[in-house]
Chain A
Amino acid sequence: MVKKLNPQAVLELICLLLFSAMMFHLAFSGKYLSYVTPRMLPYLYFTSTAMLIWATFKLPMLFRPQYKLRASHCLLLIIPVILLLLPHGTVSAADVSNGLVSDVGLSQSTNSTESATSAEENPQNSANQYDDSIIEQFGLEKNADGSIAVSDELFYPWLSEIYTNKDSYDGTTITIKGFVFRDSATMAENEFVPARLLMYCCTADLAPCGIVCEYDGASSLEADSWMTVTGVIHVVEHQGEMQPIVTITSVSPAVKPNDEYVYPW
């Protein structure tokens, strides 16, 4: 005699397995980096495992009859899975320059007084705690000729190093890659930022960050297009503060890096 399945248990089992699989897939493939920071990796594996264990507890319930069925609670697991499966890209830089994601990160790295977040999250200040150690910590190395070529992976460490010890980089040649970001409200006609999106915690706080560049053709650069720029760092007074500014010598189109976002550690 075939036993009758308990539909609620089946549904819950499927949802738990799907969610567990989704977490594992995100963590294992590295796709989670589009949503949260690398620090979350062990927690994602933990969630995946816990859901799997819960699912095994469901097994004995499968053939236990139950009159009153409930289903709506499963939406908690279904909605994230469906949204994840629906086609969507990473947050594009266009959303950011449209003001959809606030430009806190930029104002933090250029002008800390305007920052809405607390002071110790400011890259400059947090960097102050290590000071010299940024170079050692990330193994930052200048080229033989004393110039700096910023790689995709070391974008943020270099940025905080240059802002922290700006005086020692006065006159240094730098090559850096980012998307073209301009904020017409606060930037002059000949200024732009080769920026990357900085993620503190998750997609909710993405913000562009980068070093301000002076370039006569700045207004002709297409916003959000990826560029490799080369120029010389000068520490000058900018918006009331001494800041490193790059005077551009060359600009060339570039391809988008694999990991679009940068993380502050």
Chain B
Amino acid sequence: MIYLRVPVYVVTGFLGSGKTTLINKLLDKRPLETTRLLLVQFEAGEKDFDGNEYVCQVLSFSKKELDANPKDISKKIARCADELSIDEIWVEWNGMAVFSELQSIFLERLLRHKCKIEKVVHIADTDTLDTLLGKTGAALPEQISVADLVVLRHVSGAQVKNAVRLVNSLNRGVKIADAEESSLIIKTLAHRDLSPVSTLCLSIVYALALVWFCSRYVDFSFISLNTLVNVFLGIILQAVPFLLLGVLISSAIQIFVSSRTIERRFPKKLGLGMLTAILMGFCLPVCDCASVPIFRSLVKKGIPVPVAVTFLTAAPVINPVVMLSTYYAFNGSLRVVAVRVGLGIMAALFIGLFFSAWPSKNELLSSGGFDGAMCSCGCYTGLSEANGLKDKLRLYARHAETEFFSVGKFLLIGAFISALFQTIGTKTLFLQTTSGYALSLLLMMVLAFLLSLCSSSDAVIARSFSSVFPTGAVMGFLVFGPMMDIKNLLMLSGGFSKKFVLKLLLAVFLICYLVVIAFARPFLGV
């Protein structure tokens, strides 16, 4: 028997964010005489549902029932839907319950063939979002990350920009609507999207067709595509193994070493602390994306800012994976490795001293305290729930994989730009004079900032630039790139005040520039 599955619309949001009000408003606009509605509430709304105005059945479940017996809930919903031949189901989901529970109710067992989740809407108050995200655990970020539409209340408030940024960091490209614009919300809910998997497959087919078409009818004589492909693949093949090694080790540390242990062992005194920071940078092979969360937790635990900053800037440059990849990229040259590590340590120490000489007076941590790094992992069923070794291993694989993909896209872009440089621009950019050196160093550092490569795999790209730029300037790329780039900046601004992040960026840039221009060439012997 083939029958249409009942469409399910889900509204998520924290307690008091206005879920019931939203549902009321949305249903109000529709001709409901002909539709038989079922509303499933998993939370006792503060506002009553105006069910009297139209034909509507309401089922309510408490969080306790949800935790105790989800199977029973599925059964009740199924029975109700059958008996009353329901046309549409609306779900008001509990703000403290993870979305995967809802999935297991509606997508597994009984209801899988009866229901189809059409759209998931999340509603949030811009004034409280930041604070809530910091305090309420895994459920809320997960709810935002799966939503098709995020509805924001109080869009005239002061926190709007911050809220939009938070939502975007959790769910890139999600549609965001003002709670007042009911018609827009309704339109979005009615819109049917293509599944991203089909979109991807389609776009690959289109891309291949385009390539085939271009190769026949477009003249590419100005650029050697063959060389471009070769150079790109060369860089990827050289970089991916080290990227993989980097994320495997850094994820292992994040999953298996608790941040509490690290914080407890850290000396609080300035000099000793800075030395420990550097030693730790060596012993904890985390790449730049993982050092930001550790940095944040260090600052939170009251470790002096100069010490924490030293760790943040030193760790990504001086860890063993980075040394290994640099060694291979530069043809087994220990000297380049030594200069990279030496200049990295030097710059990190200077940056630490800079922050102890000019301490930040204002509050460093931004108000909310939502750890932006946690979202990039996407492992919302976090560490606390992973108990046995098997669970931890599974979490480890997932964590490493997510990190690999999120960092890898920068590698792909970086490899492409680098390959393009190699194929077109080599002869035009020869900068070897003194003023040219200063300029090309600046250029390399800006490039490092923009490319946002992971430090475990940036050496090969730096190496490919060394035919275009002097090695001294390439050293700027190798030292500054891991310490600060767009990706790090985004992660930092998620947890720290704007003023502090700006100060850090400028300090790191200036000190790296000065250190490299003063020492790189004599140390390299060029």
Most chain A CB within 10 A, of B231, B235, B406, is at B231
Counting residue pairs across A and B whose Cβ atoms lie within 8 Å, the total is 200
Does B382 touch A at the CB level, under 8 Å?
no
With A54-B397, A65-B108 known to touch, is A91 a contact of B227 (CB < 8 Å)?
A: yes
What 1/0 flags go to B389-410 for Cβ under 8 Å of A?
Answer: 0000010011011001110110
Within A33-72, which residues are at the interface with B (CB < 8 Å)?
Answer: 34-36, 39-40, 43-44, 46-47, 50, 53-54, 57, 65-72
Does B208 touch A at the CB level, under 8 Å?
yes
Partner of A88, one of B99, B226, B235, B331: B226
Does A121 touch B at the CB level, under 8 Å?
yes
Quote the shortest CB–CB distance from A60 to chain B (angstroms): 8
Does A154 touch B at the CB level, under 8 Å?
no
Across-interface contacts of B104 in A (CB, < 8 A):
65
What 1/0 flags go to A79-104 for Cβ under 8 Å of B?
Answer: 11011101011111001001111101
- Which of chain A's residues has its CB closest to B200's CB? A71
Contact of A66 with B103 in the complex, beta carbons under 8 Å: yes
CA distance A229 to B468 in the complex (A): 32
Contact of A205 with B241 in the complex, beta carbons under 8 Å: no
CA distance A184 to B242 in the complex (A): 40
Contact of A118 with B204 in the complex, beta carbons under 8 Å: no
Across-interface contacts of A21 in B (CB, < 8 A):
none
Does A28 touch B at the CB level, under 8 Å?
no
Contact of A264 with B331 in the complex, beta carbons under 8 Å: yes
- Which of chain A's residues has its CB closest to B332's CB? A265
Contact of A75 with B227 in the complex, beta carbons under 8 Å: no
Most chain A CB within 10 A, of B195, B241, B430, is at B241
Give the interface size bracket for B toward A.
35 or more
For the complex, would chain A's binding face be called helix, strand, loop or mixed by DSSP majority? helix
Contact of B464 with A205 in the complex, beta carbons under 8 Å: yes
Does B234 touch A at the CB level, under 8 Å?
yes
Quote the shortest CB–CB distance from A2 to chain B (angstroms): 11
Partner of B230, one of A104, A116, A203, A207: A203
Quote the shortest CB–CB distance from A259 to chain B (angstroms): 15
Most chain A CB within 10 A, of B230, B328, B406, is at B230
Partner of A65, one of B103, B426, B525: B103
What 1/0 flags go to B313-331 for Cβ under 8 Å of A?
Answer: 0000000000000001111
Binds B, one of A4-12, A131-139, A187-195, A246-254: A4-12
Most chain A CB within 10 A, of B408, B419, B467, is at B467
Contact of B241 with A44 in the complex, beta carbons under 8 Å: yes
Within B451-489, which residues are at the interface with A (CB < 8 Å)?
Answer: 460-461, 463-464, 466-471
Does A120 touch B at the CB level, under 8 Å?
yes
Contact of B211 with A90 in the complex, beta carbons under 8 Å: no
Across-interface contacts of B245 in A (CB, < 8 A):
43, 46
Contact of A100 with B236 in the complex, beta carbons under 8 Å: no
- Which of chain B's residues has its CB closest to A264's CB? B331
Partner of A71, one of B145, B196, B401, B404: B196
Does B238 touch A at the CB level, under 8 Å?
yes
Contact of A72 with B196 in the complex, beta carbons under 8 Å: yes
Contact of B103 with A69 in the complex, beta carbons under 8 Å: no
Does B36 touch A at the CB level, under 8 Å?
no
- Which of chain B's residues has its CB closest to A99's CB? B427
With A54-B401, A116-B470, A201-B238 known to touch, is A100 a contact of B460 (CB < 8 Å)?
A: no
Quote the shortest CB–CB distance from A174 to chain B (angstroms): 26
Does B386 touch A at the CB level, under 8 Å?
no
Does B153 touch A at the CB level, under 8 Å?
no
With A68-B146, A89-B226 known to touch, is A40 a contact of B238 (CB < 8 Å)?
A: yes
Does B335 touch A at the CB level, under 8 Å?
yes
What 1/0 flags go to A110-128 for Cβ under 8 Å of B?
Answer: 0000001111110000000
Given contacts A79-B412, A205-B463, 16 further A-B contacts (CB under 8 A): A35-B230, A36-B237, A65-B108, A67-B120, A68-B146, A69-B196, A70-B196, A100-B424, A100-B426, A102-B427, A116-B468, A117-B466, A117-B467, A204-B235, A204-B464, A205-B464
Q: Which A residues are within 8 Å of any B CB, using their own CB?
A: 4, 7-8, 10-11, 26, 32, 34-36, 39-40, 43-44, 46-47, 50, 53-54, 57, 65-76, 78-80, 82-84, 86, 88-92, 95, 98-102, 104, 116-121, 200-205, 207, 264-265
List 9 A-B pairs, minimum CB-CB distance, nearest first: A203-B234, A65-B107, A204-B464, A202-B234, A43-B241, A68-B146, A71-B200, A71-B196, A73-B405
Q: Which B residues are within 8 Å of any A CB, using their own CB?
A: 99, 103-104, 107-108, 112, 117, 120, 145-148, 195-197, 199-200, 204, 208, 211, 224-227, 229-238, 240-242, 244-245, 248, 328-333, 335-336, 394, 397-398, 400-401, 404-406, 408-409, 411-412, 418-419, 422-424, 426-427, 430, 432, 460-461, 463-464, 466-471, 524-526
18 contacts between A and B (CB under 8 A): A39-B332, A44-B241, A50-B244, A65-B104, A67-B107, A67-B117, A70-B196, A71-B200, A76-B409, A86-B211, A88-B230, A95-B227, A117-B466, A121-B330, A121-B333, A201-B331, A201-B463, A204-B463
